Structure 1
Amino acid sequence: MAAAVPASAPASAPQSMPRVEISGTPETDESNRRRQNAAMSIYGREELDRQGDIDVTDVLKRLPGVSMDGGAPRLRGLGGGYTKVLINGEDAPPGFSLDTLAPGDVERIEVVKGATAEFPGVAGTINIVLREPPKSRSREWRGGLNFRAVQPGGSQAFQWGDRIGGFSYVVPVSVARSAQGTEYLSDRISRTPAGEVQEQEISGKDVGRSGNGQIAPRMQWKFSELDTLTAGAFLQHNESRSHSQREFTTLQGTPWLTAGDGSQSEGESDISRVNAQWQRKFKEGGKFELKASWQDTDRTTLGHYESRRSDGSRPVVRDSRTEFEESRTLVGARWNQPVGEAHTLVAGIDVESRQRDELRRVWDYGIERLDSATGIPFAADIQQTAVFMQDEWTLTERLSMLPGVRVQEVRTRSGDGSGPINNVARTTSPVLHLNYRFDPKGRDQIRAALSRSFKLPDLNSLVARYVLNGNYERNETNTPIAADRAGNPLLKPELSTGLDLAYEHYPSAGGVFSVGMFYRRIDGLTRQRISLEDNPAPGVVDVPRWVSRPVNLARATSVGLELEVKGRGEDWLPMFFARGRESGLQLRAAFNLYRSRVEQVEGPDNRLEAQPPWLANMGFDWRIPSHAAWTVGASLVMQPGYRTIQTDRQIARRSAVRNMDAFISWRMDRMTQVRLGVSNILAADNVNASSVTDLDGFSAGSSTRRNTLRAINASWVLRF
């Protein structure tokens, strides 16, 4: 019997696939900070856009642990070379001013506290990264109006970026104009060993106007999954004009011959930089990078000065022209190679060459002066080589270590009429960073670091050229508070031994709580020493003059406590908010306590130069719940007045700082936002004073009170 043929099986019913949801947490400044092996904070667009600031310095002054001194940022109260300032990972051009950068020109700000093998700053490093190519099409226009003094200022900026296959680019273009004007009142007093007192009062006014334009294109070619080429340029042109007026009144002693004076100056500068970087990734892991850059800074300044006496005569009519040019070439390489599962070796080398040329010409009544610092060209060559290596060593999923070492040599050579320079500085800087995470996600962690870092003497400190103080003519003896200046070709690097320790907590809802301390011991500290010299510059001056020269003192120490809090209002102040309800309030606060001591100088107050006893800042942003498109906020920066004993006979005093800013922002839609801000609302006067006492009983002092400027700014951001 034939076998039965089985009936065909019914078609299988369609089966539904389970729903899969992919979610991710957007990158924040805190998440980037949490992942770093070294203590680094990253501030992106949220911080840069917060208040619609006029320039980057307004952003920097609100960052935790950052203070501003004369337009230059300082970490841990330490400036003058202790804090390195980089633009795209390279030293900022000479004379470059951060107030020429608008926040819209910047991609992010990286703040590294302490030294690493790659960034050897004694106090730390501030790296300002300019706009980078976007991942998708991006077009943005920013307009701004502001008023500080004299006349309104404004800015226009446009960024155009796109990605076409493996090629992406961004072209930021910006122009800006600004004006400032301040008034001041100074008092100068001196006492001779015989008891004769001379006192003058000086009232003055400074007015300045400036404008700049820049373009900073950046391009990236991704040839394959393994090879990427990045190229960029930075071109900036600056123009400035200023004038000053002073009136002199004799309060005690022989009447001052000069009744008043005035000066005008105008200048132009151009900064050009081009750079390229090629990166090769390896299939088995690791990568190799080659980079090269060229930079040129060219600056010309014209000046005119006249003094007058009460009878209307003009004892001094002086014109000047200063020409400055510095070119820099840098080539470097980086190698990143995983070794097993626990180690990642990183090694690098940078070779840099700089050539500087300067010429300052001065004419008195049309007759050119020729002396140490005027009328004679000055040229210098600086060769720098740095090699570093570090090992990102993961001991366990919670404990990691980052040992490293940096070896650097800097050769400075020059020759002019004031004497040649042939200075060689060599340093070896080992560092060790430890990071222990209490949980694998790093919500709670402890950071520790031991470091050896250095601060190299700058070229102006090495140059032996003699610079006269303009308040006194060369045929009369000046005073210690109006000293001439000269360099010291024998200066050595300052070497620092450091310890850093910090605890960090990152709440799940965002924000950070951090408390830490640091210690620095600085050997070979550089200080300005003022002394009366009988024949300081033969052929330049014919009478004894007070001269300020840099010297290496013995040793200094600095310790500090750092506290930072940032997050939602309901997390840090729950007693003021309803449970389970989002307030829209973001809080931030930081407090830094500093103590320092220069061993060779008698205390108290023998602190490091311009390091305040403490620094505090606090602020808030509130996105109004009932009107979510509106945000208001304010910030306050404070530091106390203090005095610094610079040497046994020199004392400097600074007044307290109280700086308050506020803003209101309206997000009209997803692409448009308007901000209105007020800076320096309190506008407190700034008072600086200094005094010098000589061993023979001569003493001199000066005090200057200068008003600070309140500014209002409005900005409009349009993305399309």
Structure 2
Amino acid sequence: MKFHRPLLALALLLGALNSPAQTPQAPQPAASVPAAAAAAASAPAKPAEATPPNALDRVQITAAAETDDGLRRRQSIAMSIYGREELDRQGDIDVTDVLKRLPGVSMDGGAPRLRGLGGGYTQILINGEPAPPGFSLDTLAPGDVERIEVVAGATAEYPGVAGTINVVLREPPRTLQREWRSNLNYRALQPGGSTAFQWGDRIGALSFVVPMNVTRSAWATAYEQVRLSRTPAGEVQSQAIDGRDQGRSSSAQIAPRLQWKFTDWDTLNLSAFWQHTQGRNASDRRIVALLGTPWQTARDESQSENAGNVLRAAANWIHKQEDGGKIELRGTWQDTTRDSSLHYDSYRADGRLLVTRETQTDFGEERVALGGRWTQPVAEDHTIVTGWDMETRERDELRRVWDAGIERIDSATGVPFAARIGRVAVFIQDDWALSPQWGLQPGLRLEQVRTRGDNGTNAIDNQNRVVAPTLHINYKFDPKGRDQIRASVTRSFKLPDLSALVSRYVLNGNYERTETNTPIAADSAGNPQLQPELSTGFDLRFEHYPASGGVLSIGMFYRQIDDLIRRGIRLETGMAPDITNMPRWVSRPMNIGQATTRGLEFEIKGRGEEWLPALFDKDSGVNLRAAFNLYRSQVEQVDGPDNRLEAQPPWLSNMGFDWRIRDSGWTVGASLILQPGYATNQTDRQVAQRSAQRTLDAFAAWKVDRFSQLRVGLTNLLAPDSVVASAVEDVDGFSAGSSTRRNTLRAINASWVVRF
């Protein structure tokens, strides 16, 4: 409206100059714009008249919303952005179903991996900050998320070795927005579902959004396991185990965000996040002896309950400067608690009770973080970004165990454990526009982390400092960036997790403390002397963006990792005399040496007629997407041929399409993910094997009108069994091992979205 007022005043002035003089009349009240429009609409139609020669045409300026590919093209680093189109495409149950279809992302145990590298190599952030401990992305529904940002490789701000996945929750809208989502699904046991409501609006200088979500789910899987081992006396034993696991869980979540633009230069952002989860799980096993002396335990069962809460409050102040600079300060407080209880019973073959055990675990962590960013243009070619982050985490844990009603007190149970983690990081990077085609971004990150902990008998004091320089280069063949090359040389790092540093000794539950366990059922312990893994990387990528939308990307990467951390299994005696005096096999993490990984990455997506004109007509409504990733890695201190990095597949492929059926309101599509089976030599004597994965999903969406939409999705239609095997070779060549075949679950879900 402000834009049209000068034009309207000019038109009235010209009309007055060219019209004949009129007798003055008493002034009439001015009609409001809506009232004038309503009067014009209700007035009878008049014959068309010629347009006055001095009348001005109305000018209206509209801007198309930036696409995900357009945002990706304009980034100075290799970053992919996935917004509402990708999040809503298949009406998924949770965010992990979306992540598994993204190019270069694989899933392992519910955790996403970039370039096949997990376990800390891939950094997971929620709103730009580390995810809470124990937080699972499958507790987030796609409707809770604004966008997903995937950064390939390390930057001065995001130091992930393989890259960073940043999940950004819903943000305040510019206009009134109300949305209700409902989902009904079935995986196993009983139906599950979710309902979510989002209310967002802008009132003057204030804008806000209040998303709320409640979910409930259930699952059940059955498995068969065969184990082969040898006792210290030399007797070979083998067991066949039939088991079943099932669980039910529910969660409630609210994540309000408020933005107050109190001046043209200053903006205050406030946000909160609360999530409550609870679940009940049950499992039972039947054990049959195939070789050797039968186990005392012929059947066992367990029931567990757990509850968790995540509370987060954050404030962010942004001040813009007249010279184009920007200062940002932020603070975050977060509190995470988890409580769980477990009841375990084991029985002899004749049905008599052998062991009854109660376990109670309490976990709590409080995190306080402060940070700042200063973006400052320098001349016309440089934009310097400097930043700092400081955080402290206070963690408390207590695990209590009662055997037959008698509490067990030792260095691992019945004694509180407390730890304090302090982290300080500073970074600087320069976005340097050498020319309209060349861009350069050198950067440097300095970080120090100190971990201290104590459980009464063992103390931890581990301190690490790292220096991580980075250099990113971007060359555009044309100023619009339709074709460009990205290259980077980086130094990044992976810090050891607290659980790996803690020296507490934890028994494997398959064997009592009075027995000697086997290498395939090893106890676990930490290593307070672990050092961070350091990575030197190189990335090169070509990107082509067609005018009709989409992208074609071909790239390669290389990483050299020093001080690689890997768990090794050894037979130890007297390592925890207050827990057990028997010789036991123990798994401990250790820095073993150096590893390298390299890979090729291919991605293509866009309209069908753009890439396959012989198969698709113009305006076919078909969008295609495909990605293929080839990975190779070697650990120098482990013999080949399968001395790859942990759980990194040889290759990963996904492909899919969606077809918008013209003049029907319907869109249908499908996606297929393929990953081969492979083996990993964890040490010279340890081997782990995984079966191939084939995941087929399909969906159909009906856009009823501009305000509502129905989606039906089918997940894991092929449902192949998952097979995992492991083996440990003894010094005389005997190989103890286990193989587990577990069924995977199909799921159907229907979602209804209404905007009003």
Offset at residue 25 of structure 1 (A): 3.5
- Please say if 1:682 is aligned against 2:721: no
Aligned to 2:650: 613
Offset at residue 26 of structure 1 (A): 2.4
One-letter code of the match for 1:677?
G
When structure 1 is superposed on structure 2, of 367-376 and 690-699 the one drifting more is 690-699
Aligned to 2:754: 718
Aligned to 2:35: none
Written as runs of structure 1 = structure 2, the 5 A alignment for 1:84-123 is 84-123=123-162
Aligned to 1:322: 361
Aligned to 1:694: 730
**Contact 1:418-1:464 at 8 Å conserved across structures:** no
Aligned to 2:14: none
TM-score, length of structure 2 as denominator length? 0.92
Aligned to 1:588: 625
Gap runs ≥5 in structure 1: 1-8
When structure 1 is superposed on structure 2, of 140-149 and 192-201 the one drifting more is 192-201
One-letter code of the match for 1:614?
W
Which secondary structure does the structure 1 equivalent of 2:113 belong to? Answer: strand
Q: Give CA deviations for 1:40-62 in whole Å, capped at 9, x if unaligned.
A: 00000000000010000000000
Aligned to 1:251: 290
In the alignment, the residues of structure 2 paired with residue 339 and residue 690 of structure 1 have an alpha-carbon distance, to the nearest angstrom, of 57
Aligned with residue 691 of structure 2, among 648, 655, 659: 655
Q: Give CA deviations for 1:539-595 in whole Å, capped at 9, x if unaligned.
A: 1111100000000011000000000000000011111123xx310000000000000
In the alignment, the residues of structure 2 paired with residue 533 and residue 26 of structure 1 have an alpha-carbon distance, to the nearest angstrom, of 63
Written as runs of structure 1 = structure 2, the 5 A alignment for 1:76-475 is 76-191=115-230, 196-475=235-514
Which secondary structure does the structure 1 equivalent of 2:298 belong to? Answer: strand
Gap runs ≥5 in structure 2: 1-16, 21-51
**Contact 2:231-2:516 at 8 Å conserved across structures:** no
In the alignment, the residues of structure 1 paired with residue 291 and residue 338 of structure 2 have an alpha-carbon distance, to the nearest angstrom, of 42
**Contact 1:193-1:696 at 8 Å conserved across structures:** no
Offset at residue 696 of structure 1 (A): 3.9
Which secondary structure does the structure 1 equivalent of 2:580 belong to? Answer: coil
Offset at residue 695 of structure 1 (A): 1.4
Offset at residue 196 of structure 1 (A): 3.5
Aligned to 1:525: 564
- Please say if 1:15 is aligned against 2:54: yes
Offset at residue 256 of structure 1 (A): 1.8
In the alignment, the residues of structure 2 paired with residue 10 and residue 120 of structure 1 have an alpha-carbon distance, to the nearest angstrom, of 69
Which secondary structure does the structure 2 equivalent of 1:58 belong to? Answer: helix
Aligned to 2:525: 486
**Contact 2:535-2:559 at 8 Å conserved across structures:** yes
**Contact 1:418-1:466 at 8 Å conserved across structures:** no
**Contact 2:230-2:518 at 8 Å conserved across structures:** no
In the alignment, the residues of structure 2 paired with residue 707 and residue 556 of structure 1 have an alpha-carbon distance, to the nearest angstrom, of 34
**Contact 1:192-1:697 at 8 Å conserved across structures:** no
**Contact 1:653-1:689 at 8 Å conserved across structures:** yes
One-letter code of the match for 1:713?
N
When structure 1 is superposed on structure 2, of 308-317 and 296-305 the one drifting more is 308-317
One-letter code of the match for 2:747?
A
Aligned to 1:630: 666
In the alignment, the residues of structure 2 paired with residue 503 and residue 316 of structure 1 have an alpha-carbon distance, to the nearest angstrom, of 61
Q: Give CA deviations for 1:430-469 in whole Å, capped at 9, x if unaligned.
A: 0000000001110000000000000000000000000000
Q: Specify whether residues 251 and 406 from structure 1 end up closer, same or farther in structure 2 by C-alpha distance, changes over 3 A only.
A: same
In the alignment, the residues of structure 1 paired with residue 103 and residue 128 of structure 2 have an alpha-carbon distance, to the nearest angstrom, of 21
One-letter code of the match for 1:567?
G
Which secondary structure does the structure 2 equivalent of 1:450 belong to? Answer: strand
Aligned to 1:27: 66
**Contact 1:192-1:699 at 8 Å conserved across structures:** no
Q: Specify whether residues 18 and 438 from structure 1 end up closer, same or farther in structure 2 by C-alpha distance, changes over 3 A only.
A: farther
Aligned with residue 637 of structure 2, among 600, 611, 615: 600
Aligned residues: 709
Offset at residue 193 of structure 1 (A): 8.5
Offset at residue 23 of structure 1 (A): 4.8
Offset at residue 11 of structure 1 (A): 7.6
**Contact 2:397-2:416 at 8 Å conserved across structures:** yes
Which secondary structure does the structure 2 equivalent of 1:554 belong to? Answer: strand
In the alignment, the residues of structure 2 paired with residue 195 and residue 490 of structure 1 have an alpha-carbon distance, to the nearest angstrom, of 35
One-letter code of the match for 1:50?
R
Offset at residue 415 of structure 1 (A): 1.4
**Contact 2:231-2:518 at 8 Å conserved across structures:** no
One-letter code of the match for 1:680?
N
**Contact 1:495-1:522 at 8 Å conserved across structures:** yes
Offset at residue 643 of structure 1 (A): 0.1
When structure 1 is superposed on structure 2, of 132-141 and 409-418 the one drifting more is 409-418
Which secondary structure does the structure 1 equivalent of 2:72 belong to? Answer: helix
In the alignment, the residues of structure 1 paired with residue 584 and residue 79 of structure 2 have an alpha-carbon distance, to the nearest angstrom, of 47
Offset at residue 16 of structure 1 (A): 4.6
Which secondary structure does the structure 2 equivalent of 1:46 belong to? Answer: helix
Aligned to 1:64: 103
In the alignment, the residues of structure 1 paired with residue 509 and residue 633 of structure 2 have an alpha-carbon distance, to the nearest angstrom, of 34
In the alignment, the residues of structure 2 paired with residue 582 and residue 175 of structure 1 have an alpha-carbon distance, to the nearest angstrom, of 40
When structure 1 is superposed on structure 2, of 20-29 and 401-410 the one drifting more is 20-29
Q: Give CA deviations for 1:4-60 in whole Å, capped at 9, x if unaligned.
A: xxxxx9989953547756453321000000000010000000000000100000000
Q: Specify whether residues 15 and 543 from structure 1 end up closer, same or farther in structure 2 by C-alpha distance, changes over 3 A only.
A: same
In the alignment, the residues of structure 2 paired with residue 477 and residue 303 of structure 1 have an alpha-carbon distance, to the nearest angstrom, of 24
Q: Give CA deviations for 1:652-671 in whole Å, capped at 9, x if unaligned.
A: 00000000100000000000
Offset at residue 341 of structure 1 (A): 0.2
- Please say if 1:707 is aligned against 2:743: yes
TM-score, length of structure 1 as denominator length? 0.97
Aligned to 1:504: 543
Offset at residue 315 of structure 1 (A): 1.6
In the alignment, the residues of structure 1 paired with residue 357 and residue 418 of structure 2 have an alpha-carbon distance, to the nearest angstrom, of 25
Offset at residue 141 of structure 1 (A): 0.1
Which secondary structure does the structure 1 equivalent of 2:85 belong to? Answer: helix
Offset at residue 126 of structure 1 (A): 0.2
Q: Give CA deviations for 1:360-391 in whole Å, capped at 9, x if unaligned.
A: 00000000001121101000000000100000
Aligned with residue 93 of structure 2, among 54, 57, 62: 54
Aligned to 1:3: none
Which secondary structure does the structure 1 equivalent of 2:143 belong to? Answer: helix
Offset at residue 536 of structure 1 (A): 1.7
**Contact 1:302-1:322 at 8 Å conserved across structures:** yes
Aligned to 1:6: none
**Contact 1:418-1:465 at 8 Å conserved across structures:** no
In the alignment, the residues of structure 1 paired with residue 415 and residue 233 of structure 2 have an alpha-carbon distance, to the nearest angstrom, of 40
In the alignment, the residues of structure 1 paired with residue 58 and residue 332 of structure 2 have an alpha-carbon distance, to the nearest angstrom, of 51
What percent identity do the matched residue pairs reach?
Answer: 66
**Contact 1:506-1:512 at 8 Å conserved across structures:** yes
Which secondary structure does the structure 1 equivalent of 2:620 belong to? Answer: coil
**Contact 1:193-1:697 at 8 Å conserved across structures:** no
Which secondary structure does the structure 2 equivalent of 1:315 belong to? Answer: strand
Written as runs of structure 1 = structure 2, the 5 A alignment for 1:532-547 is 532-547=571-586
**Contact 1:193-1:698 at 8 Å conserved across structures:** no
In the alignment, the residues of structure 2 paired with residue 585 and residue 351 of structure 1 have an alpha-carbon distance, to the nearest angstrom, of 48
Offset at residue 486 of structure 1 (A): 0.1
Aligned to 1:4: none
Q: Specify whether residues 186 and 404 from structure 1 end up closer, same or farther in structure 2 by C-alpha distance, changes over 3 A only.
A: same
The higher radius of gyration belongs to 2
